[in-house]
Amino acid sequence: MDVIKLDTSAEFAAMADAYERSGGDPSVLKMADVSSLVVSGNKILSANQTEGVVLEKESTESGVYIMLTIKKGYTIPNPVHLCFGVLPKEGLQQINVTMIAEEDASVELIAHCTFPNSEHVVHKMDGKIIIHKNASLTYNETHFHGKKGGVEVIPQAKITIEEGGRYYTGFTLISGRVGLLDLDYEVDAGKDAICELNAKVYGKGDDKILIKEKVFLNGENARSVIKSRVAISDNAVAEFTGVTEGHAPYARGHVDCVEVVQGNAIAKAVPIVMVDDPLAKVTHEAAIGSVDKKQVDTLMARGLEENEAVDAIVKGMLK
């Protein structure tokens, strides 16, 4: 086990504060039995690895390179916490990350990305995730942005799930302004693999949201769900593309998208489903529109004002 190197600088404190405001518990970043990594801009402020976790990291000119391996057969008892952020108003953070869950390993990763003061910040992630046979990896990423917008979030990831592997991911960006989100995830699911992709985003002002999630069910009995919940108001625009292709017998996939539109916002949903094996089945559903009137009426009949009712419904959907 590595000795924890705590950076007690003001920058670490500021990151911890931003981490807390984004819903994280900063105390976990100091716990010896919790694997964690804190990166501000291209500076690695702290890192810790526990038994079964191998965390390689290196600062680069504009960000950080990370190689995270969960060793064969290990179930990591506590979630691994990752904290990324850019505290100045401007900056570029490029995360190049490879995550590997070796055979029969199991891990949950919780990532918080904070850009509380952003006016022009670009946050890019190029990810490669490999989930080996019968391994399980859960990756939940929550963003905390400031109120001014001015952030470009561009996460791209290629995920490979081998036989019997399980991958669950959640991307949440509902606090502060989105700015630009251009998310692009692609999953190759092998035999008996299970994959669930969830995205929840709330866009306001002139935010632009592009979500592309693709799942290729290449192995027999592979299963997947792509679930997207997007609310947009003002002049925001959102486009969701959910692709699921069934290429093997008994593969089952589903694409589920709901987009709630308020004000002058514009939403578009493109579910693309394809099957080339007669024993595979892929389904989809998409709903775009204003908040359901009956839901609003019901909450108003309990005493909420109309805007409060809409807010409660949208927050519920994005919870």
Partner 1 sequence: MGGVYILSVKNIKLKRDGKELLRGVDLEIGECEIHSVIGPNGAGKSTLAYLLMGIGGYSPKEGSVHFNEEDITQFTITQRAKRGITLAWQEPARFEGLTVYDYLSIGAGGTGKVSENTLRHALEMVDLSPDKYLHREVSEALSGGERKRIEMASILTMKPKLAILDEPDSGIDVVSLKEIVALIQDLKKNGSSVLVITHREEIAAASDKASLMCDGMIVKTGSPAEISDFFIKKCKPCDVETHDLKGD
Gap between the Cα atoms of 101 and 107, Å rounded: 8
> Binding residue for partner 1 (CB under 8 A) from 6, 237, 288, 318?
318
Nearer to partner 1, 67 or 312 (CB): 312
Nearer residue to partner 1 within complex by CB, 10 or 294 = 294
- Smallest gap from Cβ 134 to partner 1, in A, equals 29
Using rule CB under 8 A, residue 304 touches partner 1: yes
The type of residue at 138 is T
Among residues 132, 258, 281, 284, the one that binds partner 1 under rule CB under 8 A: 258
Spatial distance between the Cα atoms of 83 and 48, rounded to a whole number of angstroms: 12
Comparing CB distances to partner 1, the nearer of 9 and 298 is 298
Binding mask 269-298 for partner 1 (x = CB under 8 A): -----------------------xxxx-xx
Which stretch in 30-38, 115-123, 232-240, 305-313 sits in contact with partner 1 by CB under 8 A? 305-313
The torsion region of residue 209 among left (phi > 0), alpha (psi -120 to 50) and beta comes to beta
Q: Which stretch binds partner 1 (CB under 8 A): 7-15, 85-93, 163-171, 300-308?
A: 300-308
Site residues for partner 1, window 217-246 (CB under 8 A)? 229
Minimum distance, C-beta of residue 290 to partner 1, in the bound complex (Å): 13
Those residues whose C-beta lies under 8 Å from the C-beta of residue 260, and which sit 6 or more positions away, are 230, 231, 232, 289, 290, 291, 313, 314, 317
Residue 316 interacts with partner 1 (CB under 8 A)? Answer: yes
Q: Which of 114, 116, 311 is nearest to 202 (CA)?
A: 311
Cα 111 to Cα 171: distance, rounded to the nearest angstrom? 9
Stretch that binds partner 1, among 40-48, 150-158, 265-273, 309-317 (CB under 8 A): 309-317
Radius of gyration of the chain (CA): 20
Residue closer to partner 1, measured from CB, 59 or 298:
298
Cα–Cα dist 314/275, whole Å? 34
State the binding string over 24-53 for partner 1 (x if CB under 8 A, else -): ------------------------------
- H or E element in which residue 309 lies: helix 306-318
**CA 68 to CA 50: how far, in whole Å?**
12
Count helices and strands (H / E) in the chain.
3, 19
Which residues contact partner 1 by CB under 8 A?
Answer: 229, 258, 292-295, 297-306, 312-313, 315-319
